[in-house]
Amino acid sequence: MTEAINVQGLSKSFGGRKVVDNLDLRVNTGEIFGFLGPNGSGKTTSIRMLCGLLTADAGEGHCLGFDIRRESAAIKREVGYMTQRFSFYEDLSIRENLEFIARVYGMASRRQVVDEAIEQLGLSGRDKQLAGSLSGGWKQRMALAACLLHKPKLLLLDEPTAGVDPKARRDFWEEIHDLAARGITVLVSTHYMDEAERCHRLAYIAYGKLLAQGTPQELIDNSGLHTWTLNGQRVNEVTAELRANPAIAQVVPFGLTLHVSSMDGATLATLVQKLARQYQLQAEEAAPRLEDIFIQLMGSSTDNFGTKVQA
């Protein structure tokens, strides 16, 4: 597969604080690549360096075949960038906003281009509605339509579904997979684990450092984390004992079920089975979830001020 992004050693500091620290990243053409990490981890800064909006303090590489340092203007022409915040004119209609964006790009046949975008994103019938009156899901659709007007080869989506209801998020991701199937590369940052599972590959960044990357299944398989579930009416009675054990990494309640994780599989199995017998609970070994793995990674990281993070 050809590479849409190939960068090495990207670093960026603000006010003496390193926000991105020696980032290496490769993203294949037509791939949906997920960026995950806590707030302030450097996801947005990394995305802006990749598309030429920020110049890296150190590092090199290519995006869509262009040098990220010397050819940033060429990269911008081939990229659609969807920001965290809705950044269009709320007192203009959907159509008026899209026509304005088309003028900014200097596009020929603007009316046809806007008509196609409106049709593709299911905005027909709403094109005269003011952008400020749209719900979160429809604002998201309009923003994606604007990103696609100039037929980009790469989409950079910075937490695009924050504050959007589950149905709108699912519809959005169906559209993203359709775009990837047509050869458009998608780099998306998200906090939602169900969205992470929809990506082809993932990278987890904590406070500027790349901690892990791979397919969702590879991250689970390589985590070294073991998980058991405990289920039953008395499950709350064992929570404190589990959390007090230094071998236990995480105890997460889900109703009458506890997800218990540890890097020590043998100790975990022995403890969970003992408690199951003692409190008449059902115990079952389970696969770790992506959320468990990312919380474990975060707990092993150090923030930008050199402080150990507590998971």
Q: What is the pLDDT of residues 31-89, one digit of tens each?
A: 999 989 888 888 889 988 988 889 999 999 999 999 999 999 999 889 998 887 888 99
In CATH terms, 3-220 corresponds, of 3.50.50.60, 3.40.50.300, 1.10.274.50, 3.30.300.100, to 3.40.50.300
Count CB atoms within 10 A of the CB of residue 179: 21
**Cβ atoms of 83 and 46 closer than 8 Å:** no
Amino acid identity of 215? T
CATH 3.30.70 in the chain, residues?
Answer: 226-287
For domain 226-287, say whether CATH 3.30.70 is its number: yes
pLDDT exceeds 90 at position 308: no
Whether residue 311 is predicted with pLDDT greater than 50 in this model: the reply is no
Strand-pair partners of 123:
none
Quick: pLDDT tens for 258-280: 999 999 999 999 999 999 999 99
CATH 3.40.50.300 domain residues, the chain: 3-220
Q: Is 167 exposed, middle or buried (0-12, 13-18, 19+ CB in 10 A)?
A: exposed
Q: What is the DSSP string of 221-276?
A: HTS--EEEEEESTTGGGGHHHHHHSTT--EEEEETTEEEEEES-HHHHHHHHHHHH
What pLDDT was estimated at residue 306? 53
At position 67, the amino acid (one-letter code) is D
Does the pLDDT at position 187 exceed 60? yes
Q: Give the pLDDT of residue 16.
A: 86
56: its two tokens: 């890296």
Which of 8-22, 130-144, 156-170, 258-272 is predicted least confidently? Answer: 156-170
pTM of the model: 0.86
Per the structure block, which two tokens stand in for 78?
């081939």
